[in-house]
């Protein structure tokens, strides 16, 4: 018999207590399926990628998806945690643990909210999807984008209870600088690759990038510089590798980014690698660029207008001010948009705590998020959103 959970907090704690780094999510996904069964979903299953699905089917109507991921980044230095990273403890009104913010709590709220919405008269198909490998390229969401059709997707990445309408993309560029090895005591015999790197970095600092727009413009951050040979501290570096983390806005395409950087130093070589991803069960294999597309929810259309009204009204009884913005990090939104529906973002927890050893979520946020998710699902059910054109 499936384990039952009293509320969204109890389910969130159970999820947090399972260590689920990317590519090792099977246990937590099985628990999620079990929770769907206990909550009375019509269907509860794992798809070929290992994503967990709970589905309510209530006749004709729109297909509404509530989505999040259950994989997490590594635990980090456990000594640095005030409370154990897998404890799920509630201390001073906050539930602690890896994934509490990013983003197991949201999925727990979604599961209960879906049950609430169906009890309140939801018509159509309401599904909750918990995906794998979001933190390492999005294989789970990419698979959903290829296999599921929706009218709207509600993504529960942490937003501090704000409505979120997109984010910049991410393009990783590897720059290889040339050089010639020599003994450091007679450096004139070599050609130091670090000087090329230094020249490039100075030019990068002054590079003009696309600016403006709702996502705030593109940005560029050099994040890692490695010289070769790494073991030779008394050797003139014969080559050096630099990683550039580039955050792009729509219209600032990867090939344009690469060309812009190449102009700064023709002597260097520039690469944007692909990712070879495999589901934990081995059934799904994908190759895709090591990049996340920028995403901006289509502007003034019925989905966004409805979300603004519903979220503002749902927050009011909790004395939470309505705020609308974009995420500063990448998400699965562009992959999920391939299901056909626009992606609306809303989640519990302060995103600034994600990936840190301070990760915890206010218990009150879970109550609020459950209510917001229910009201959004009901509102989208009541409108013929699948029949209206996006603006």
Query: 286-302: b or e for each residue (b if 16 or more CB lie within 10 Å)?
Result: beeebbbbbbbbbeeeb
Q: What confidence score (pLDDT) does residue 386 get?
A: 40
Question: What pLDDT score does 388 carry?
Answer: 41
Output the pLDDT for position 390: 39
Contact present, 130 and 27 (Cβ < 8 Å): no
- Residues 238, 187: contact at Cβ < 8 Å? no
Kindly write down the DSSP assignment for every residue of 351-370, as one continuous string.
GGGTTSTT-EEEHHHHHHHH
pLDDT at 391: 35
Section 358-379 average pLDDT: 98
Domains, the chain, in order of start with CATH, read: 8-168+294-387 (3.40.630.10), 169-276 (3.30.70.360)
Closest CA to 271 of 280, 260, 258, 285: 258
Cis preceding-peptide flag for 103 (omega within 30 of 0)? yes
Choose among 255, 272, 260: nearest CA to 220: 260
Task: Report the candidate in 253, 245, 250 with the shortest Cα–Cα distance to residue 220.
Answer: 245
Q: What pLDDT does 389 receive?
A: 39
* 159-193: pLDDT as tens digits: 999 999 999 999 999 999 999 999 999 999 999 99
Overall average pLDDT of the 148-169 stretch: 98
List the single range of 24-28, 238-242, 384-388 with lowest mean pLDDT: 384-388
Residue with tokens 């590798």: 241
Which structure tokens are listed for 176? 């290889």
Pairing of strands 124-131, 63-69: parallel
DSSP letter, residue 340: S
CB 158 within 8 A of CB 348: yes
* Residue 76 exposure: Cα atoms within 13 Å on the Cβ side: 19
pLDDT in tens, 300-331: 789 999 999 999 999 999 999 999 999 999 99
CA atoms within 13 A on the CB side of 280: 21
pTM above 0.75, yes or no: yes
User: Measured between alpha carbons, how far is 286 from 275 in angstroms, rounded to an integer?
Assistant: 8
Percent of the chain with pLDDT over 90: 95
Task: Note the pLDDT of residue 351.
Answer: 98
Q: Is the pLDDT of residue 261 over 80?
A: yes
Chain centroid to Cα 7, Å, comes to 25
Residue found by looking up tokens 């990936």 in the block? 355
**What pLDDT does 300 receive?**
72
- Evaluated on CA atoms 379, 383, 389, 391, the torsion sign reads negative
What integer pLDDT is reported at residue 32 of this predicted model?
98
Give the model's pLDDT for residue 275.
Answer: 95
For residue 382, name the pLDDT band (cuts at 50, 70, 90): confident
Residues 6+ apart with CB under 8 A from 349: 100, 101, 102, 103, 105, 106, 158, 160, 361, 362, 365
Confidence (pLDDT) at 99:
98
Handedness of CA 87, 91, 93, 97 (dihedral sign): negative
């Amino acid at each position: 018999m499936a384990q039952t959970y009293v509320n969204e907090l109890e389910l969130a704690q159970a999820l947090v207590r399972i260590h689920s780094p990317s590519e090792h999510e099977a246990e937590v996904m099985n628990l999620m399926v079990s929770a769907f069964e206990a909550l009375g979903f019509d269907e509860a299953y794992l798809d070929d990628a290992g994503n967990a699905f709970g589905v309510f089917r209530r006749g004709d109507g729109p297909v509404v998806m509530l989505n999040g991921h259950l994989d997490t980044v590594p635990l980090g230095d456990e000594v640095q945690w005030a409370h154990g990273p897998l404890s799920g403890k509630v201390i001073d009104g906050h539930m602690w643990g890896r994934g509490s913010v990013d983003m197991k709590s949201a999925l727990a709220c979604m599961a209960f909210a879906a049950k609430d919405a169906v009890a309140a008269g939801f018509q159509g198909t309401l599904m909750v999807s918990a995906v794998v490998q979001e933190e390492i390229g999005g294989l789970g969401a990419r698979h959903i984008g290829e296999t599921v059709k929706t009218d709207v997707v509600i993504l529960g990445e942490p937003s501090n209870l704000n409505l979120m309408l997109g984010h910049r993309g991410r393009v990783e560029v590897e720059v290889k600088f040339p050089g010639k090895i020599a003994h450091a005591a007679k450096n004139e015999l070599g050609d130091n690759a670090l000087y090329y790197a230094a020249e490039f970095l100075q030019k990068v600092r002054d590079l003009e990038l696309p600016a403006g727009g709702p996502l705030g413009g593109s940005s560029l951050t050099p994040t890692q510089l490695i010289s070769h040979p790494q073991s030779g501290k008394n050797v003139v570096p014969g080559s050096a590798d630099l990683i550039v983390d580039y955050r792009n806005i729509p219209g600032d395409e990867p090939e344009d980014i690469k060309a812009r950087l190449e102009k700064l130093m023709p002597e260097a070589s520039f690469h944007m690698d692909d990712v070879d991803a495999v589901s934990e069960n081995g059934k799904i294999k994908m190759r895709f660029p090591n990049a996340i597309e920028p995403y901006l929810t289509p502007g003034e259309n019925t989905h966004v207008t409805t979300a603004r009204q519903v979220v503002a009204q749902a927050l009011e009884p909790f004395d939470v001010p309505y705020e609308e913005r974009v995420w500063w990090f990448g998400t699965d939104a562009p992959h999920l948009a391939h299901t056909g529906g626009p992606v609306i973002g809303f989640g519990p927890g302060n995103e600034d705590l994600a990936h840190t050893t301070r990760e915890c979520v206010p218990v009150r946020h879970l109550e609020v998020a459950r209510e917001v998710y229910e009201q959004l699902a009901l509102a989208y059910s009541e409108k013929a959103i699948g029949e209206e054109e996006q603006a």
